[in-house]
Amino acid sequence: MRDFAAELEARKDAGLYRRRRLVSGPQQPNLTTDGNAVLAFCSNDYLGLANDPVVAEALHQALPETGVGGGASHLVCGHHDEHHLLEQALADLTKRSAALFFSTGYMANLGVITALAGRGDTIFSDRLNHASIIDGCQLSRAKVRRYPHADVAALAELLATTSGHKLVVTDGVFSMDGDIAPLAEMARLCREHDALLVVDDAHGLGVLGEQGAGTLEQLGLSEDDVPILIGTLGKAVGTSGAFVAGPALLMDYLVQKARTYIYTTAMPPAMARATRAALALVRSEPQRRAHLQHLIGRFRAEAQALGYRLMPSETPIQPIEVGDNWAALELSRELEARGLLVTAIRPPTVPEGEARLRVTFSAAHTDADLDRLLAGLADCRCFYPG
C-alpha cells in the first residue's frame, strides 16, 4: 500500500506542506483567522463585493421566493428564472450572444475543454495556465501542446505545424503572476490557423475594462476575436459560481456536451439573484476600479523602493519574488506576526524555484491599510533574500 504518511512528511521537509486556516466572520480586509485579527492581502475579492450590503440584501430577499437549493440539474428541473436572468445579464455585460451559468470556475473549464476537444484534436495551452485548464486538457484525451508563457512566436510555430481541429486555451490574467495574456496577437493567430480561442478571464472580470467586463473589454476584443469567454463569479464579483459566454450555437452545444454542466445540481437561484445585484455594482461603480489602480500604483512604487522585486503586473495580483520555499514561508510568517496576512505561494502552484508572496488588493482596502502593509514590509526587509 502506498505510504501516504511518508509523502506528507516529504512535503513538510521540502517546505511544501499546506494547511487550512479557519476564518470567522465575513470576507473583508480585516479578518479573523484561527482566532487572530489580521489585515489580509491575499483575497480575490478585488472589488470588495463579498460583504457588500446591497449584494447581501439581494440574497436575503430572494430566499423566501426561491428557496435555498437548486433541486436538480439544469436539464431536469433546476433551471430557474433567476439563472436565466443572470445568464442574460452576463451576456449583456460581456457583449456576447449568450451565456451559461456553471457551479464553479473549475467545472466551467473542465466542461468547456472536454466538450470542445477530444481524441484526434490538438489543444495549445500556456505553460502557466491555471490547474483547472491543465486538468481539462488532460481529461479531454486530445493531444496537448504547451507553449512557453505568453510566447506568441512559439504558439505560431506550433499552430503552423499542426493539422486538424485546434483549440487554444489561455488565462486572460494569470492568477499567480498577475500579467495579461497577449490576446490580440493570439486572436490574430487563431484566425490565421483556423483555431478556436478560449479565454479564462477569472481574474480580469470586474477588474479590467471601462464597465468591468474584463480583459477582453479592455483590449477591445469581440466575440468574433474570442469565441469562448469563461469567467468566475467568486472573485471580483464577490458571490459564487462561474459562466461561459459566446455564440448561441456554441452555448447550445455545451448544454448538450459539457458533462460538468449536465451532471450537477444547479446553483441556488438566490445566489444567481445576488450575483445580478453584484454585476450591477460592477458596472455602475467604476470608482472601485479606480481606487484599486491607485493602490496598485502606490504599492509598486513604494515596495520596489524598499528593495522588493515585483513581477510585471497592472492588476490587483502583485507577487513579490522570493525563490526559495522556506524563505517565502519565513517572510509570510514574519508579516503575520505583525498582523498582516500575505500568503506564500510554492510549487506546484508555481514553477520550482519561483516561490513568492502573492499580494492582492481589494477596493475595500484603504490607503491606511496599504501604509500598514508597507510598514510591515519595511520592518521585515531583513528576512527578504532579494
The H or E element containing residue 143 is strand 143-147
Is 143 part of the annotated catalytic residue set?
Answer: no
pLDDT in tens, 33-67: 999 999 999 999 999 999 999 999 999 999 999 99
Residue 105 annotated in ligand binding? yes
Hey, what amino acid is at 215? T
> Is 315 within the bounds of a domain?
yes
**Residues 291 and 228 reside in one and the same domain:** no
Average pLDDT rounded to a whole number, residues 261-268: 97
For residue 80, being part of any structural domain is answered with yes
Give the whole-angstrom CA distance, residue 191 versus residue 42.
38
Whether the Cβ atoms of residue 218 and residue 209 lie closer than 8 Å to each other = yes
Q: Are residues 277 and 290 in the same domain?
A: no
Per-residue burial over 231-243, b = 16 or more CB atoms within 10 Å of its CB, e = otherwise: bbbbbbbbbbbbb
Q: Same structural domain for residues 250 and 364? A: no
Give the model's pLDDT for residue 386.
Answer: 72
Selecting among 80, 235, 291, 365, the annotated active-site residue is 235
Residue 242 has a pLDDT of 98
233 within some domain:
yes
Whether the CB-CB separation of 361 and 207 falls below 8 Å is answered with no
Question: What percent of the chain shows pLDDT beyond 90?
Answer: 96
Residue 180 domain-assigned (yes or no): yes
193 is annotated as contributing to ligand binding: no
Residue 86: predicted pLDDT: 98
Q: What type of residue sits at position 325?
A: N
Domain boundary among 250, 284, 318: 284
**CA angle (12, 18, 19) in 5-degree steps:** 120
Q: Is 18 annotated as a binding residue?
A: yes
Q: Binding residue per annotation — 175?
A: yes
Do 80 and 151 sit in the same domain of this protein? yes
Same domain? For 176 and 203 the reply is yes
CATH classification of the domain holding 302: 3.90.1150.10
Strands laid side by side in the 355-360 sheet: 317-323, 355-360, 344-345
Give the pLDDT band of residue 7 (cuts 50, 70, 90).
very high
Rounded mean pLDDT, 74-102? 97
- Same domain as 336, residue 209: no
Can you give the pTM of this predicted structure?
A: 0.95
Whether 164 and 224 map to the same domain: the answer is yes
Q: Which of 83, 203, 291, 365 is catalytic?
A: 203
On whether 83 is known to bind a ligand per the annotation, the reply is: no
What is the sign of the dihedral through the CA atoms of 110, 114, 116 and 119? positive
Domain boundary residue, one of 232, 257, 284: 284
On whether residue 379 sits in a domain, the answer given is yes
Of 222, 257, 284, the residue at which a domain comes to its end is 284
147 marked as binding residue: no
The answer to whether the peptide bond before residue 385 is cis (omega within 30 degrees of 0) is: no
> Is 276 a known ligand-binding residue?
no
216 and 92 in a common domain = yes
| Same structural domain, 188 and 243 | yes
Q: What pLDDT shows up at residue 2?
A: 82
User: Which residues touch 211 (CB under 8 Å, ≥6 apart)?
Assistant: 93, 217, 282, 283, 286
Catalytic residue chosen out of the listed positions 125, 140, 175, 313: 175
Query: If you search the block for the grid coordinates 500598514, which residue do you land on?
Result: 372
Q: What is the CATH number of the domain that holds 202?
A: 3.40.640.10
Least confident of 5-14, 85-94, 102-111, 149-158: 5-14
Whether residue 257 lies in the annotated active site = no
Does residue 1 surpass a pLDDT of 90? no
**235 lies in the same domain as 306:** no
Domain count, the chain: 2
Say whether 175 is catalytic.
yes
Structural domain harbouring 311: 17-46+286-383
Q: Is 374's pLDDT higher than 90?
A: yes
Whether 238 and 297 map to the same domain: the answer is no
Same domain assignment for residues 301 and 199: no
Q: Identify whether 189 is part of a domain.
A: yes
